[in-house]
Structures are given as structure tokens and as C-alpha cells.
Amino acid sequence: MLKYVVRRIFQMIPVFLGVTLILFVLRIPGLLPGDPIQLIVGEKPLTPALRAQIEEKNHLNEPVHIQYAYYVSGIAQGDLGESYQKGRPVTDILFDKFPNTFRLALAGIIVEIVIGISAGIISAIRQYSFWDVLVTLSTSILVSVPVFWLGLLLQMFFGIRLKEWTGGAVFLPISGMGNPPDFVHLVLPAITLASVSTAYVARIMRSQMLEAMGQDYIRTAMAKGLTERAVVFKHALKNALIPVVTYIGIDLGVLMSGAILTETVFSWPGVGREIYLAVMQRDWPVVMGGVIVIVLIVMFINLLVDISYALLDPRIRYGGAAE
Amino acid sequence: MSARRRKPGFPPDADPDSPKAAYRGGPDGEQTGGSSDYVGDDLANRPERTLWGDAWIRLRKNKLAIIGLVWILIVVTLTLSADFWVPQNFASPTSTDAGSLEAPSAVHPFGTDRIGRDVFSRVVYGARVSLAVGVLAVGISLVIGLLMGALSGYYGGLVDTLVMRTADIFFAFPYTLFAIALLAVLGPSYHNVFIAIGILGWPSVARVFRSSILSVKENEYVDAARAMGASDQRIIFRHIMPNAVAPIIVYGTMSIGGAIIAEAALSFLGMGVQPPTPSWGAMLSEAKALMVAAPWLTIWPGFAILTTVLAFVLMGDGLRDALDVKMKD
């Protein structure tokens, strides 16, 4: 087991170096359109003296491979540079925002588990029923809805119309986390963030459940005279859940990284919105630093998912290739 | 293309390969075998015709896929012909002649926006941007992805490792963030949006195509071609590609929908298509502040994205079933 974990970690290193290489290439002046030094300076006029000063400070006058070495060793020491706008270390800014993003992602995962899994089960055990058609159709629609539009619609309906109709008595907040942070503020952003994944969870749950229900051991259980409830929940569900749980695990990483649209629509003070604001202000180190931290988190979560999968399934542990 | 090679009058459900035909036995078999027209057909065309012909028959039976296809055709037609009827009957998408924030009416079916532009006209012209970005981005992904996937799947070894590790690096990036980082460097513009989405899409294409090639290249006819001294190039393009392409067609169709959403998202964030060019995502971005005063600004562009993307998803689902491609959900 330990061997597997070590091998997985060693596989991650070249991938991570590749990520840093791509982000580094994006910063090389002249390679791509857009001058990073101009980005650093922003709207201010760029004098040769200022340019030389910035090149000196950011090691831009060194040969490219030396620059890359500086860059990677900086990351290894947890130094992601300083924000141009705020003058604070990027790591500080990100660590302030991460708990909020994590909170939202967790709420999204709960939505996925509760709604996605139960919709999938109902759909599978009552195949071709009204509920099945409803679930199948709405999952197709949900994966085609742009999340930010769904967010806007939810704001419009639950935040504004509902408030008008009930004379301000019943409505859901549409912006920020509340002060102090409360659960009501989580509802709409969490639903928005989880919408697409919930649809996928329901689809996977449905197909896995249908497959499990067709197995011999289910027929045996039925033949023994067990109730449908016992067959579904004790026998079929346990086996059908494994791929779903894997998907949800990987999705935790995706939700933490993909929250940029949801966080922007709901003014949720998380990492995604911070990166978006940084892009708007051309605050380059915050953007790149944010991307690196998120890539690391996603890789770490995927590693945990793989390890737990290997714990459950010995074939992965000894077989080598996970494919 | 290949569906057209079907001989007219050949009954579609008398396909000798289908299990139905096997059960029916005698009369049908005689009819098929007895038709000199059919037997005289170039035998080399037979497997190809049955694959695509069957696929089309199965696709036609799938109501949702046909709805998707029809909607795609409607959107394409409306968009391509827009110059001939939209400005004349409604308004040009950039004209600001109408009053500000007028509610939907006969003159302005979808209302007008903050600076008096006709929303209907902008939604119709916005489809141009969305479809163009969708098709061009997927085109770029396909060109890079097919090449990489073919190299990796056919040659294996070091090439395979290199290509697949590079793909892993791309997969490690969160999609939206990577697109934003790329556009922050390239600069937001219509061209850069489809370039960025296209570049980000290739690793998935390469993976799908690679696994498809890996299974196809085990076939005996590939060995036979090699034994006959065919070059690598000929084997890849004439023998493997045509048989490995079905999953790519399915994936490509669905990806167009994905690329349209990605463009809308990037334009919504201000990183995509820039004003005054009408883009659904950019329209929603302007609508956000006017949600109370002018809900039609939010509803119609979003509805356009939803229906268009859904059409490509349904079409892709239908193609998957019709071509009998097994893909992860």
C-alpha cells in the first residue's frame, strides 16, 4: 500500500512541474502577446528606469532557465510573490479566502449527495416511470444550463420576486456570506455551484444502480424473499455507490476550483472571486498564485481519492495502471 | 456521406447484420441475396454502408436527438440569414435608436437594453459568435487532439508517454481558471477565446482517440495491411482512422455545446468577446445589474444558450446510442 502511495506521489511531481512550466511560459516577455512588465505596472506609464527596476526585482534580466529556477524554488518555499495591488504576499491573500471557498464547496457536495443520489436511486428502481423521465430530462437540461445564468435566475426568483410577493417576509439572500456568516446565505450559491455535478451524480447513480439491479446476487436476494427495500438498500446500493463516491470525491476538487462563476455572481468572498477581481485589476501574481494553489489542492484531493479507492479495491493496488 | 451510397429501394430494416433479420430468415434473405443490384455492389463498400446507414436509421428513431438536430438547423439558418431580415424588421444589433429598457413588445419581441438596443436582434446575432466559437474551438481541439491521439495510440512507447503526460498536465488545470489565465495573457478578444478554448480541449480528444485507436489496431485487417507492406501513414489514415472515428464524432458534437458554454462564461466574466459585438455571455453580464428593472435582459440570452447547448447535448447522446459508442457518462 505504501509503495502505491509513494508511486502515486512520484507520478504527481512531473505533472506539477509541467503546470509551473506552462504558467512560467505565460510570463516570458515577448513569447505571447501581452507584456508582463506592462501588466505589472498596470495603467501607469512605463519608463525605462521603472522597467529596469522591475526586471531586476523579478529576475527578468536573467537567462530564462535561471528565471524558471527562481520561480520554482519560490513556489517550493511557499513564496508566490506579492500582490501588485495590495502589496501583501499572495499566500496571505489566498489563505484568507480559502475557508470561504471550502465552505461553499462543502455545501455544494451536500446538495450533490442528498439530491443527486436520491434522484438517481428513485430513477433506477422505478425505471421508465414518471419520476425516471423527470430525472433523466432534468439532468440533460441541467448539464446544458450555464451555471452563472442559473445563479441569476435563482437570484431573480428567490431573492427578488419572492420578496415582492410575500411583502419582504420570505426570501433568500443573494449576495455575500452574511454577517456573521449564516446558512441562509449558503443556499442559493450552493445549489448553483452544485447544479451540473448533481445532474452527473444522478446520472451515474442511475446507471450504476440499473447495472447492479441486473446482477445475479440481486436475483438471488429477491428469490430468497427479501423485501424490495432490503434488496435495494442492503445489496444493490452498496455496490452501486462506489463509482458515485469516487465522482463526488474528485468533484470536491472541481468545486473548489470551479467556483469562480458562482462566487462572482453571488459576490461570495472566496478564492475564485479574488482571482476574478485580480484578473480585472491585472494583478498577475494573485492570478498565477491562485491557479497554482488550486492545482495543488485538486491534485491532493485526487490523490486521496485514488488512495481510498486502492484501499477498497486491491486490484488497483497491485495491478499498477489504474486504467 | 457514406449514407448516400445506400442503394435506393434497399429496405433499411432488411439489414442482414441485425438480429431481427436473422430471426426472419428465409424470405428476406432470399430477397436480399436475389437482388442482383445488391450483390453486384462493390463489396468493399458494404461494412461502411451498414455502419453509417444503421446509425442514421437508429438516430432517426431517437426523438430527442432529432429535436436537437432540428433546433441546431433552425439556429444555423436564422443566424446565417440574419442580415436579410433582422435589421429590416427589428433593428441592427448595435443600433441604439430605440428607447432605453423597453419591455418586450411587437416591435421589440425581447425588449431593449440599457442603451436602447433591440435584444432580439442581439440574441440572433449572438448566435453567430456562439456557433462560430463553438465550431472553431472544437475544430482546433480536434486537429491537435487527433494528431496527438493518433501518434500516441499508434506508436506507443516514449511518444505515448510524452503525449499522455502532457495531457495530464493540461488536465491538472481547472478549466475556467486556465482559460482565464490564458486570456489574461493573450488579451480578451473573439479570436483568442476560441483559440484558448480550442487549446484547452485537445487533451480530452487525444485521450478518446488514443483508446479508440488502441482497440482498432488489434484488428486482423491492420495486421494484414502491414503484412502487405502498407506504410504507417497509409495504415493510420486508411485503415485505423475511419474505424476509430465514431467516438470522436460523438465527443466533438457534445464538445461544441461545452465550448458554447465556455465562451458564454468567459464573455460573462469580461474575458471573452468584447462589446459592441453581441455575445450571449456578455449580454448576461450587462443584464446582471438590471435584473429587477429589466428581467427580459437576463431571460432571453440565457434561454438561447440553454436551448442551443441542450440541442448539441441531445444530438451527441443520440449519436452515441446510434453509433453504439461506449463512453463514460
Reduced 3-state DSSP string for B74-136: HHHHHHHCHHHHHHHHCCCCCCCCCCCCCCCCCCCCCCECCCCCEHHHHHHHHHHHHHHHHHH
Q: Do A143 and B174 touch (CB under 8 A)?
A: no
pTM for this entry: 0.82
Q: Given CB atoms, is B32 within the 8 Å cutoff of chain A?
A: no
pLDDT reading at B232 higher than 80: yes
Is A73 in a helix, a strand, or coil?
helix
pLDDT for A28 equals 66
pLDDT for residue B35: 44
Residue B38 has pLDDT above 70, yes or no: no
A110 C-beta neighbours (distance < 10 Å), count: 13
Using a CB-CB cut-off of 8 Å, the residues of chain A touching B265 are 146-148, 261
Q: Rounded to the nearest 10 degrees, how much is the dihedral formed by the CA atoms of B311, B316, B317, B323?
A: 140
Share of chain A above pLDDT 70, in %: 90
Name the pLDDT band for A32 (thresholds 50, 70, 90): low
> Is A203–B329 a contact, with Cβ atoms under 8 angstroms apart?
yes
| Residue B176: C-alpha distances to residues B170, B181, B243, B264 (Å) | 12, 9, 33, 11
- The per-residue pLDDT for B32 is 45
Contacts across the A-B interface (CB distance below 8 Å): 133
| Three cell numbers written together for B116 | 436602447
Beta carbons of A258 and B175 less than 8 Å apart: yes
Q: Which has more pLDDT, B238 or B100?
A: B238
pLDDT at B131: 92
**Chain A interface includes B327 (CB < 8 A):** no
Tens-digit pLDDT profile for residues B48-101: 556 677 788 888 888 888 999 999 999 999 988 888 887 777 777 777 776 777
Q: Most A CBs within 10 Å: which of B133, B176, B207, as the mutation test of the A interface?
A: B176
A280/B314 Cβ within 8 A: no
pLDDT value at A114 more than 90: yes
- Residues facing A82 on adjacent strands: A89
> Which of A140, A276, A288 shows the shortest C-beta gap to B313?
A140
Chain B residue closest to A36 (CA)? B185
Q: What is the mean pLDDT of residues A98-106?
A: 90
Segment B290-309 shows an average pLDDT of 88
Q: Does B293 touch chain A (CB under 8 A)?
A: no
Q: Do A279 and B313 touch (CB under 8 A)?
A: no
Q: What digits encode the pLDDT tens for the residues A223-266?
A: 888 888 888 888 888 888 888 888 888 888 888 776 888 998 99
* Residues B180/B269, Cβ–Cβ less than 8 Å: yes
Nearest CA among B321, B170, B142 for reference residue B241: B142
- Confidence tier at B246 by pLDDT (50, 70, 90): confident
* B188-220 as b/e: b if 16+ CB within 10 A: bbbebbbbbbbbbbbbbbbbbbbbbbbebbeee
> How large is the angle between the packed helices A237-257 and A184-213, nearest 10 degrees?
140
ipTM: 0.83
Over residues A281-302, the pLDDT tens digits come to 777 788 888 888 888 888 888 8
Q: How far apart are CA B109 and CA B97, in angstroms?
A: 15
User: Helix, strand, coil shares of chain A as percentages rounded to 5?
Assistant: 75, 0, 25
Q: How much is the pLDDT for B22?
A: 38
Q: Do B261 and A291 touch (CB under 8 A)?
A: no
Task: Tell me if the bond preceding B276 is cis, omega within 30° of 0.
Answer: yes
B125-129, B234-238, B244-248, range with greatest mean pLDDT = B125-129
| Of B283 and B108, more confident | B283
Residue-wise pLDDT tens digits, A170-229: 777 777 777 777 888 888 999 999 999 999 999 999 999 988 888 888 888 888 888 888
Q: Which residue of B has its CA nearest to A267?
A: B288
Give the nearest chain B residue to A21 (CA atoms). B169
Residue among B177, B263, B279, B284 with most chain A CBs within 10 A, to mutate: B177
- Cβ pair B269:A276 closer than 8 A: yes
Residues of A in contact with B153 (CB under 8 A): none
Nearest to A152 among B173, B185, B288 (CB): B288
Using pLDDT thresholds of 50, 70 and 90, give the confidence band for residue A315: low
Contact B65, B59 (CB under 8 A): yes
- Confidence class of residue A152 from pLDDT cuts 50, 70 and 90? very high
Pairwise CB contact (< 8 Å): B265 & A284: no
Predicted pLDDT at A200: 92
Compute the mean pLDDT over every residue in chain A, rounded to the nearest whole number: 83
Give the three cell numbers for residue A1: 500500500
- The predicted pLDDT at position B36 comes to 46
Mean pLDDT of chain B: 79
CA gap B259, B19 in Å, rounded: 39
| pLDDT exceeds cutoff 90 at A109 | yes
CA A12, A285, A68: angle at the middle one, nearest 5? 55
Per-residue pLDDT of B3-18, as tens digits, reads: 434 333 334 444 444 4
By C-alpha distance, which of A250, A244, A251, A252 is closest to A121?
A244
pLDDT of residue A118: 92
Residue of A nearest to B307 (CA): A144
Arithmetic mean of pLDDT, B306-323: 90
Total length of chain B: 329
Cβ neighbours for A21, distance < 8 A, ≥ 6 positions apart: A68
Q: Select from B180, B185, B264 the Cβ nearest to the Cβ of A34.
A: B185
Determine the pLDDT at residue A254. 82
* pLDDT score for A42: 62
Cβ within 8 Å, pair A284-B184: yes
The shortest CB-CB distance from A146 to any of B184, B186, B261 is to: B261
Which of A140, A153, A295 faces B173 most closely, judged by CB atoms?
A295
- pLDDT, residue A202, reads 94
With a CB cutoff of 8 Å and minimum separation 6, the contacts of B198 are B136, B137, B138, B139, B140, B141, B144, B259
Contacts of B298 in chain A (CB under 8 A): 149, 152-153, 156
pLDDT at B143 over 50: yes
Find the closest chain A residue to B287 by CA distance: A152
Alpha helices in chain B, H assignment, sequence order: 19-24, 26-34, 36-39, 46-61, 63-80, 82-89, 119-155, 157-172, 175-186, 190-216, 220-227, 232-234, 241-244, 246-268, 280-287, 295-323
The C-alpha atoms of residue A294 and residue A80 are separated, in whole angstroms, by: 13
**According to the model, what pLDDT value does residue B67 have?**
92
Region A117-127: what's the mean pLDDT?
Answer: 90
* Span A92-120, average pLDDT: 91
Closest-CA residue of A relative to B165 is: A15
Q: Which of residues 264-283 of B touch A (CB under 8 A)?
A: 264-265, 268-271, 281
Query: Which residues does chain B have within 8 Å of residue A39's beta carbon, measured at their own beta carbons?
Result: 184
In angstroms, the Cα distances linking A6 to A10, A19, A261, B164 are 6, 20, 35, 21
Q: Report B:99-128 residues touching A (Cβ under 8 A).
A: none
